[in-house]
Structure 1
């Protein structure tokens, strides 16, 4: 049984706007009520709204009950001695009093009917927008007329504040957002973002934030109701397009500079603005370019994250930067022009030897590193990273057991990756800055157990992946004539080839994981009648995620080392022989991925001293290399 249906509870609490009948009606009230009813029937909704605007709503339910109220009511009712049935057997009221109470019942019934019809409908939206527009116009008029006397327009500002908040109810009906556009209410709303009273501006910001909240498209819509969900999504899209057309981004960015974060309400307003930016990017990632290139959002964000103390707005600013940098090449270049790499290095350096104090602060630090990683996709950023001594900073972090140590490995992976001149320069700087000394203890797994205990975000497989990629990047960049290559190779021959032992150990571990996943996939494939290319790709991606990606890099490094050093080759043969394998077992894993095979050919050519320009075969093979390892 549905309790709401029995008591007819409205979806939206209506008590705050209901105009209540006084507890004890008198003849004066009857005259006013009859006058109001006549005007409503003659003048329509506009007149009714004017009358309601002049009389402040009184919520009887919220008022305390006083026994004196009942005493006063009894004094007003005069019992009729001529009543034939007497007050105990008749109505107990005079004809006039009975008529008054009938009107009270009629008034309450009218109000209840309005409440039931005030569900989120097109008519309800029009009514709310009409009151909203009237409140704006009245406030503007009074502000212009009494610009030197705030007391004259203070009440109109309170009314405007109330009407803005009333529009929050539309979040329950996003499919009706297009009505806001059709009623031309968006320009009025945008005007409030420049209102003289920042409290009104913050109200408007809060309203837009709620309208565009990521949960709104599913608000009040059952998951199985695809039609309503689609209508809600379209409604949000129409609203967003109209807001952007009326310069929403520019106005919001202006308020970032206008609001004073020393005030709590202003600080919350800025938080809401950043929330709107995030929601817009979630709805349309391509807006990142417009936000960055056409507004002053990026400079404000970069300035905001340089605050010394952590707060929610600093954390949110770091998140917006991280999101923006993931989207577009031009966005990343713009941030490079604004010296974002240098700023990110400076703010992250505060955590090189200490951990964040709270979870939100840790998330901010993650955003700093993610932003650097996104930037490092650009050659310009690699150059700025090198000039800003980013490699040296990351190496300092590698020596600690902090959250920064975990993320620094990934940053170095991106800084050294690629075939460009800047990637090569970063590889040389890494070795010259004693990077090998910092890296190989991590390669051996030193300190991993303690990191797991302290940081739940630490994933050993991811750490190993980044370390292996760093080693591969250096092997790709250094030629036989480079002293840095010799120093790298010596690391694998030291301490009785313990690094080679580690590689074979990793091969065994990830190979077993890959076999388990392949067996599970094989069972699924037997149950599938039709296996299309998409499913095969999905299965392969599952293998990569389970450890095949790391396994391929391990085999690639082992094969390249064997091609370059006979001592390493003999050690690999010995270790694999104990596992019942041969060196040739490396090749099937390498050949499974074309890019990995091409990498192997390149590395082998470099080990043989052949110039890189000779490696041009599209299939990753040349005449003297048929994908076989020397035995």
Structure 2
């Protein structure tokens, strides 16, 4: 099969060289080549033989067709490669054999040739459009097999730029949707790729394409999936401190706030994006901008558990005694503590959910024989998913606003007493939360009981990371500061 394939390629090349201006002389040889390419599709049934395919030099032959003068042949080769690397085929067979094949493809500049071909294909033509779809499929297959390939793709090709241009095309189709999906894949777990997207103006592009959904919903399930991919991509890049500034400059805070006001599908997604944009000390400028454009009014109008992360980011990042922070605290005081009342209602609801989960777990424990310590991590996950995580955020917010204002603390105590609860219940939840925050290598553990107050911790939290520190060091210090704050809030109750 491989020999016939090789002969078909050589014959076609010879005729093209001999009769470059007379297609009738080599048309038949290209039909034969097309047939031989399709015969190779049967190789997907025997992936264990992929190493032999490499030894016979077939990889070089297949990849060479990506540069064929006839785009129909190129499209056939792309389809073949998409099938040979299909995730389902790869998952069911020996990983070592697949790796040999993929490594050989990469050595023969597969990535570069695939991306170069995108400019040759005219998506107005159905065959070319399918060729683009299959090209994206190959990229997804490769990254699925080895996620590390995603950084190589972005580094060695201009695929990221091509995709950013492609998603800006207004007409929705399957290729645009696939680009949105692949974009989110390339940004997963890769700081390098996220920063590259920022360099290419990708944050502005994502905001532009999302702008279409601020006052209208996607037309169908496929377009909804595409919109969600854009939101996911934006959340991923906002994990990087450098991107938060680009988000601010691109008026991302303003766009997300507009979406929050509208009762469209994008509303809850926009809250998630803001949660990422305002978090960590690098989110300070976004926090301040959020308050400046009267975001608090919209935020508290939608007061519910989903926006707890945003409130906590505001509490952590807004400087002590600043006007923005005073405006935030005043939101809890205005209208006779209406927002505090709502906060306690949410707490009561999630406390009941957690109690139900705890009851189920205790009943299960009674049926287990022997030591159930190995199940504790699973039980914790169930509690968190069952409402404990939200309850912890609510109680963290309660503790913080009580620390900020004694009148709020008194009001909270009264409301809790009416339901047979007290601030000690809030304290218990936060102590459990503190216990599970992690050790952070016991950095400065002896200082955790010091007299440093919460406002001092917040001032430290607002400092920008020192450029010479590693990401791990910054993360550890940030985690330690988080623990200090929680510990001080617990002590204030």
Counterpart position of 1:217: 90
Which range moved further: 610-619 or 428-437?
Answer: 610-619
Counterpart position of 2:301: 441
Counterpart position of 2:284: 424
| TM alignment of 1:100-111, pairs within 5 A | none
| TM alignment of 1:478-517, pairs within 5 A | 478-517=318-357
Structure 1 pair 373–528 and aligned structure 2 pair: CA distance change class (3 A): farther
Classify the secondary structure of the residue corresponding to 2:453.
Answer: helix
Structure 1 pair 601–203 and aligned structure 2 pair: CA distance change class (3 A): farther
Counterpart position of 1:414: 276
Match of 1:343 among 198, 201, 205: 205
Deviation at 1:538, TM superposition (A): 2.3
Cα RMSD after superposing both structures = 2.5
Contact 2:461 2:481 in 1 (8 A): no
Deviation at 1:438, TM superposition (A): 1.1
1:164-195 C-alpha deviation (Å, 9 max, x unpaired): 00111111221122221121111011110100
Classify the secondary structure of the residue corresponding to 2:87.
Answer: coil
Structure that is richer in helix per residue = 2
Once superposed, which parts of structure 1, at least 4 consecutive aligned residues long, lie more than 6 Å away? 595-598, 614-619
Contact 1:259 1:270 in 2 (8 A): yes
Counterpart position of 1:300: 162
Deviation at 1:326, TM superposition (A): 1.2
Counterpart position of 1:85: none
Deviation at 1:260, TM superposition (A): 1.2
Deviation at 1:230, TM superposition (A): 4.6
Counterpart position of 1:142: 15
2:367 corresponds to 1:519: no
* Structure 1: distance between partners of 2:245 and 2:378: 37
Deviation at 1:520, TM superposition (A): 2.5
1:88-143 C-alpha deviation (Å, 9 max, x unpaired): xxxxxxxxxxxxxxxxxxxxxxxxxxxxxxxxxxxxxxxx1111111111111111
| TM alignment of 1:453-602, pairs within 5 A | 464-465=305-306, 467-526=307-366, 527-533=368-374, 535-594=375-434
Counterpart position of 1:107: none
| TM alignment of 1:268-283, pairs within 5 A | 268-283=130-145
Deviation at 1:621, TM superposition (A): 6.0
* Structure 1: distance between partners of 2:461 and 2:157: 48
Structure 1: which 5+ residue stretches go unaligned? 1-127, 219-228, 445-463
* Structure 2: distance between partners of 1:610 and 1:256: 52
Match of 2:265 among 392, 400, 403: 403
Contact 2:291 2:324 in 1 (8 A): yes
Structure 1 pair 237–495 and aligned structure 2 pair: CA distance change class (3 A): same
Structure 1 pair 575–375 and aligned structure 2 pair: CA distance change class (3 A): same
Larger radius of gyration between Structure 1 and Structure 2: 1
Structure 1 pair 350–610 and aligned structure 2 pair: CA distance change class (3 A): closer
Deviation at 1:373, TM superposition (A): 0.7
Contact 1:286 1:327 in 2 (8 A): no
2:18 corresponds to 1:156: no
Contact 1:587 1:629 in 2 (8 A): no
* Structure 1: distance between partners of 2:76 and 2:169: 27
Counterpart position of 2:41: 168
Counterpart position of 2:243: 381
* Structure 2: distance between partners of 1:333 and 1:478: 26
Contact 1:186 1:243 in 2 (8 A): yes
Task: Give the structure, 1 or 2, with the largest relative contact order (CA under 8 Å, sep 6 or more).
Answer: 2
* Structure 1: distance between partners of 2:324 and 2:281: 17
Deviation at 1:522, TM superposition (A): 2.8
Contact 2:453 2:488 in 1 (8 A): no
Structure 1 pair 478–165 and aligned structure 2 pair: CA distance change class (3 A): same
Counterpart position of 2:470: none
Contact 1:525 1:531 in 2 (8 A): yes
* Structure 1: distance between partners of 2:260 and 2:52: 56
Deviation at 1:312, TM superposition (A): 1.1
Contact 1:590 1:596 in 2 (8 A): no
Contact 1:341 1:384 in 2 (8 A): yes
* Structure 2: distance between partners of 1:539 and 1:584: 24
Counterpart position of 1:7: none
Structure 2: which 5+ residue stretches go unaligned? 439-447, 463-476
2:123 corresponds to 1:261: yes
Classify the secondary structure of the residue corresponding to 1:147.
Answer: coil
Contact 1:271 1:313 in 2 (8 A): yes
